[in-house]
Copies of this chain bind each other. A is one copy, B any other.
């Protein structure tokens, strides 16, 4: 079967195969990506992030239902190791997610590989391009909101939803603060829990400090994902953000930036082994501390990438 052609025609089997190849590092994946790349850049890429236990997957589940109600085809990439999509959670969750299995308008894939640098893997970017080329109007990327993954998903997505819960300990305030700067939509999930009002006030204050009237106004929503409450409002907010991006040229800019980043990531990953070819002499000097790493790097670059 011609995987690239079938994938462009929307074949789920072809899409699944391409993503598996890309996740496994099979060279056929790369060939497919070369052929479909021109067809990418249309999907609205939405990152869903937040600390473990915030209920991201449950909220995403409700969001999928709402998008389907609005007639949109939805792709989902799960890269959160604690997500039920990736098999990290309780049986109940997994059964619940199964209800999309018979819906041809929903395509869910979890990615096994993590990035070499702890963030999103190359396969995540590639799989995103596959779902985009398959014609899904919205592609959700669910990721854990800590460290590099959090930074990567913001770079990848057009819109980033940050899911928080009441009563997160003081310890995660630092994480929360980092997340806050990155979000386009904030959702306080489990808003019927004790302490919700206080957390809501706190977030409102933080948002207020940050708002710039000439920029996108980040909305603070509430949800009770287990009862699907708040999903419609979240859908509305994402549509509003998409409209704002279209209006300001941000949608295209972000798509261009994504392609550029993917290129830079590849260069970084593939150049290192080639740069280190024939650098055994320098490695030995550094290992034995006869030469410091800075001087060794300078010598290597001089040798391999002389300035013209």
Contact = CB atoms under 8 A, between A and B. Distances in A.
Contacts of A292: 33-34, 37-38
Chain B CB within 10 Å, residue with most, of A171, A271, A282: A271
A283 B260 contact: yes
A10 interface: no
B34 A294 contact: yes
A266 B294 contact: yes
A21 to B, nearest CB: 13
Contact of A171 (B82, B173, B274, B290): B82
Interface stretch (A146-154, A201-209, A220-228, A243-251): A146-154
Question: Within the oligomer, what is the number of copies of this chain?
Answer: 2
Contacts of A275: 267, 271, 305
Interface in A259-293: 259-260, 262-268, 270-272, 274-276, 282-283, 286-293
A158 to B, nearest CB: 16
Contact of A304 (B169, B171, B174, B305): B305
Interface string A158-197: 0000000000011111110000000000000000000000
Given A81-B174, A82-B174, A174-B88, A266 B293 contact: yes
Q: SS class of chain A's interface: helix, strand, loop or mixed?
A: helix
24 contacts: A30-B294, A33-B294, A37-B291, A38-B289, A40-B289, A52-B171, A52-B172, A52-B174, A53-B170, A82-B173, A88-B174, A90-B170, A118-B149, A147-B147, A147-B149, A256-B287, A259-B287, A259-B289, A266-B293, A266-B294, A266-B297, A270-B297, A271-B271, A271-B305
A119 interface: yes
Using C-beta atoms within 8 Å of the partner chain, give the interface range for chain A. Answer: 35 or more
A295 interface: yes
Contact of A288 (B148, B170, B256, B270): B256
A105 interface: no
A283 to B, nearest CB: 6
Ranked 8 nearest A-B pairs via Cβ: A147-B147, A118-B148, A37-B292, A52-B171, A53-B171, A117-B117, A263-B293, A266-B297
A46 B42 CA distance: 49
A148 B37 CA distance: 30
Nearest to A256: B287
